[in-house]
Amino acid sequence: MRTELLNLYGMKVIRFSNDEIMNNFSAVCKQIDKEIISYLPSKGRPGGVYKLLKGIDHNKDQSYFLSGLDQFQLSKSLFPLGDIEKPEVRRIAKQVGLPNAERKDSQGLCFVGNIPIRTFLEQKLPKKVGITVDESRRQIGKHEGARFFTIGQRQGLNLPPDHYVTKIDVKRNIVHVGPRGSEFLNQKEINLTDRHRIGYKYDLPLDVEAKIRYRQTQPAKCRLSVTRDAGRVTRPKLKTRDSKLVTASFHEAQRAIAPGQIVVAYIGEECVGSGVIV
């Protein structure tokens, strides 16, 4: 799985994947009758269509990572912890004598482990000295490889505090930086590809709440619509489920949006689907 992610999704082309979302549930589901997943969303089936719902414990809800599931996969999945908060789960685990009842929550990157992402990347990719430029394209520093950075990053630039990564040019090995308030760091409109719906087919335009990262405390209100002038948009060379572009227009600007990350859409407590940021 790790090798597939490295080859398909971007350590060489600097796209920022959510590897948990790309878990291959289909292969597992074909081999077993039901898969019991310890994550904390919930599932409903009104009108014969399975729905993926947020878990009752919003601090531990994993519906963001499961937004790539389809009807077949949901039909083979059970979420026994969806209606229980984490402290209660620990209490029950301790009561029945499970050895991991008081184990600390995992903080490591899935499929990688509890090591800094920079350290992991340096094990896989060679260093290559490049330049850092400001918004006027003036060189103001050097770095050890553009692909070791992410949008919005400040640490590791060896620059004064008010410098953040705004763009990464891997082909030319250039890191672009700007101030915290840079328009390149704060966007109200983005394009999505590889769109996936979980259940009902919703017509566009559609008003939803969206998460652009897992640790986003409050989903952002936005409208999904068919992308205008889609032919002018540079698309990633990925094998996608649906290559048609969708535009997400947010009510308020969103910070540090990175190509390749997943936008997950919600209507109320229901996770309705996802798309990949172009």
In sequence order, what are the residues at sequence separation of 6 or more whose Cβ sits closer than 8 angstroms to the Cβ of residue 27? none
Q: What does the pLDDT read at residue 159?
A: 95
Q: DSSP string spanning 19-85?
A: TTTT--HHHHHTT-S-EE--SS-EEE-GGG--EEE--S-TTT--TTTTTT--HHHHHTEE-TTTTS-
Q: Which helix (H) or strand (E) holds 211?
A: strand 206-211
pLDDT digit string (tens) for 176-208? 999 999 999 999 999 999 999 998 888 999 999
Same domain, 268 and 205: yes
- In Å, the largest CA–CA distance within the chain is 63
Residue 245 lies in a domain: yes
Same domain, 194 and 252: yes
Looking at residue 232, which CATH number applies to its domain?
2.40.30.10
Residue 102 lies in a domain: no
Q: DSSP string spanning 115-142?
A: S-HHHHHHHHS----EEEE-TT--EEEE
Smallest CA-to-CA distance from 59 within 78, 77, 35, 84 is with 84
pLDDT band at 169 (very low <50, low <70, confident <90, very high): very high
Same domain, 190 and 273: yes
Q: Where among 145, 178, 211 does a domain terminate? A: 178
Q: What does the pLDDT read at residue 228?
A: 79
pTM: 0.81
**Does pLDDT of 7 surpass 60?**
no
Q: What does the pLDDT read at residue 179?
A: 96
Looking at residue 28, which CATH number applies to its domain?
3.40.50.620
pLDDT digit string (tens) for 21-73? 655 555 555 555 655 555 556 666 666 889 999 999 988 999 999 999 999 99
pLDDT band at 8 (very low <50, low <70, confident <90, very high): very low
Residue 207: give the domain boundaries: 186-277
pLDDT band at 220 (very low <50, low <70, confident <90, very high): very high
Same domain, 171 and 196: no
Q: What does the pLDDT read at residue 196?
A: 94
Q: Where among 178, 210, 239 does a domain terminate? A: 178
Same domain, 199 and 247: yes
**Does pLDDT of 242 surpass 60?**
no
Cα–Cα distance between 64 and 56 in angstroms, integer? 14
Strands 77-78 and 35-36: parallel
Q: What does the pLDDT read at residue 73?
A: 94
Q: What does the pLDDT read at residue 239?
A: 46
Looking at residue 144, which CATH number applies to its domain?
2.30.30.280
pLDDT band at 240 (very low <50, low <70, confident <90, very high): very low
Side chain identity, residue 235: R
> Which residue did the predictor score with more confidence, 47 or 129?
129
Give the number of domains in the chain. 3
Same domain, 89 and 133: no
Residue 121 lies in a domain: no
Q: What does the pLDDT read at residue 36?
A: 54
Which tokens hold the place of 181? 């308030």
Average pLDDT over the chain reads: 84
Q: What does the pLDDT read at residue 198?
A: 94
Q: Where among 95, 110, 145 does a domain terminate? A: 95
CA 207 to chain centre: 20
SS3 93: helix
pLDDT digit string (tens) for 77-122? 999 999 999 999 999 999 999 999 998 887 767 777 778 888 888 9
Contact 189, 268 (CB under 8 A): no
Residue 115 lies in a domain: no
